Each structure stands twice: as C-alpha cells, then as structure tokens.
Amino acid sequence: MTQTSENVTWLTQSGYDQLKAELEHLTGPARAEIIQKIAAASEEGDLKENAGYHAAREEQGKQELRVRQLTQLLERAKVGQAPSDSGVVAPGMVVTVAFDGDPDDTMEFLLGSREAAGGTLAIYSPQSPLGRAIDGRKIGESATYELPNGKKASVTITEVKPYEG
C-alpha cells in the first residue's frame, strides 16, 4: 500500500520504539492488571451499584482506546530521518510562520504527530487546516487557511528545518 504524506506519521527510531513499548505494556501487563481489577470488583456484589467495578470498566475502555490509537499510528508510521533541509514544508519539519505577513507575530511548530515530539514545541497535524495550507510551500511563500470560526488567516513561511527530536 502506498502511503501519502497525509496519512504517514514520521517518527524517529527512538520515538517508534517508545510507542511500541507502550503498546506492548498496554496489551500485556496493563491488560492483565485491569482484568484482575474488574474480577475483584465484580466479586463485591451487585454490579449496578458497584463504583469500583464501573471505574475499572471505564479504565479498561480508555486503555483499549489507546491500544487502538497506538496500533493505527504504528501501522502508518514511517521511521527514519526527517525530510532533508530543503526549505520545503513537509511532515517532520519544524516550521516558523509569520501571521498576516507581520514579522513580529510568529509561531514555531512541528508539522507532524503529537507522538513524534515532546517538550514545549507546538505540534500541528498535516491534516489540520494550517498543515494542509502550508504543506509543500517554501520559505517566503504565503498560504491562507480557514479558522474554526470561519474566518480566514494568512501566514508566510519564514523558516523550515528538519525536526531533530
């Protein structure tokens, strides 16, 4: 299956390994632990009024959702180096934009997946309105995208560099 940049998540090898380890933990020891919690709580009696049972089931639901998210993410992940330092916006790049052409009103962010980075760097998905508008653009080019309130915003790409994460 050929993957486009719209459904690929770029991860470093260490990021991939970290997410894989989390998935293995959730599908192994963590899953066994929650099953034990549910079994212990169900032995306490009437399930309709058993807060411990309901809390354990809710925790299980959240855990299984995370398992599905990680599975999907790892299936479409591309592991390796970030794109080359070509000055072109692409997933895996740290981008600085100036809003409405104002060089003093800037924002720096990673175009990628929230799992790909940690720390304080903002992350925008390539599928977000801003991500779609700037993907493939070069330094100095402008793009317009729609805000959640329906208004339009313009940005000018001022810097593009590979994520070193």
Nearest to 78 by CA among 4, 147, 142, 134: 4
Model pTM? 0.56
Among residues 17, 51, 79, the one where a domain terminates is: 79
pLDDT over 80 (residue 163): no
Confidence of residue 142 (pLDDT cuts 50, 70, 90): very high
The structure tokens listed for 12 are 């470093």
- Is the same domain home to 68 and 106? no
C-alpha distance from residue 103 to each of 19, 21, 29 (Å): 37, 42, 51
Range of the domain at 132: 93-162
Q: State how many domains the chain has.
A: 2
Which region among 32-41, 52-61, 115-124, 140-149 has the lowest average model confidence (pLDDT)?
Answer: 115-124
